[in-house]
Copies of this chain bind each other. A is one copy, B any other.
Amino acid sequence: MIRSVIIIGAGNVGLHLGRAVSGLGLSSLKVFARRIKSGYDKSVLKFLTSDPVVFSEKADLVILAVNDDSISAVCSQLEDRGQIVVHTSGSTPMNVLAKFSRHGVLYPLQTFSASGKLDYRTVPFFTEANGPGVLQELKKFASLISGSVTEAGTDKRLKLHISAVFVSNFVNHMYSVAEEICREEDIDFNVLMPLIKETVSKIAIMHPKQAQTGPAVRNDRTTISKHLEALKSDLQKQELYRLLSESIHQKNQKNEKL
C-alpha cells in the first residue's frame, strides 16, 4: 500500500498532483522543486522542498512530474530500492523507467495551470505498470484521487495525448486568435462566451461531425472569401483560416462519400 510519496518536479502537473495527494492523509508527501519561487501559499509550502536529499530518501511511490526531456536525467539520480517509480507523461513510453524493478505510468488527462482550482475527482487518470501487482497498487492509489482510472498502454496513451492536444491546446489557440481579432475591433471577447459554451454543450448530446456548422462545412465560398479578404493584413491568421476551412471541407466530403 502506498503511504509515502515523493513528487519530483513542481511545474503545473507536479504542484496540482501535490495538492491532490496532500488531501489523502498519507504518512509522508514531498514535492521537489529545483527553486522555490515566492508566491506559494501555505498549503503548498508545507510539502515543497528544494533539498536534493529527497532523491535518496525512501518512499513507496516516486512520481516524476518533469518535462519529458528531463525524465532520463532524473532517473539517473534515483536508485532502485523497490519503490514504485512512475512518470506522468502522455507521450513517453513506460520502458524509459526500465531500470526500476517496479515502474509504471500515471497520466492525468487534464490541462493544468498555475492558477485555477480543479476538482481532481473528475480528472481521468490512465495507468500502466510493469506487472500486475504494481498495476493494482497504482490503480488503488489513483482511485483515491480520481473517479476515473483506466489502464492504457504506451500507444493508447500517446493517442490520448494527441487527442488532448487537439481538444485543449489547439482549441485554446482558436480562442486566443479570436481574442486578438476582437481586441483589434474593440469587441469584448466575453460576447463570444455563450457561443463557446454552446459549442461544447452540443458535443455532449451529438456527434462532433453532426454538430459542425459554418461556412466551411456548407462550402460557402462567398463567405470564406470575405473572411480571407478581411484577414489579409494578418497572413498568419489568414493561412490558419484557409487551412482549417479546407480541412473541414475535405472531412465533410470524405463523410459524404462513405
Contacts and interface: CB of A to CB of B under 8 A. Distances in A.
B160 A198 contact: no
A56 interface: no
A164 interface: yes
A165 B214 contact: yes
A24 interface: no
Contacts of A182: 159-160, 163
Contact of A240 (B161, B163, B247): B247
Contacts of A202: 111, 113, 116, 172
A200 interface: yes
B176 A163 contact: no
Identical copies of this chain, number: 2
B209 A181 contact: no
Given A163-B192, A167-B196, A222 B69 contact: yes
Contacts of A68: 220, 222-223
Contact of A174 (B109, B110, B166, B178): B166
Interface stretch (A25-33, A73-81, A118-126, A137-145): A118-126
Interface string A229-258: 011000010011101100110110000000
A64 to B, nearest CB: 15
A159 B172 contact: no
A187 interface: yes
A118 B143 CA distance: 37
Nearest to A196: B167
Contact of A167 (B109, B178, B247): B178
Given A124-B191, A162-B241, A191-B109, A248 B169 contact: yes
Interface string A190-227: 01111111111111111111111111111010110011
A49 interface: no
Please name the 10 residue pairs, one residue from A and one from B, whose CB atoms are nearest each other, closest first. A169-B214, A176-B208, A163-B178, A175-B208, A166-B178, A159-B185, A168-B199, A122-B194, A166-B174, A167-B178
Interface of A: 12, 67-69, 91, 109-113, 115-116, 118, 122-124, 148, 150, 155-156, 158-179, 181-182, 184-185, 187, 189, 191-218, 220, 222-223, 226-227, 230-231, 236, 239-241, 243-244, 247-248, 250-251
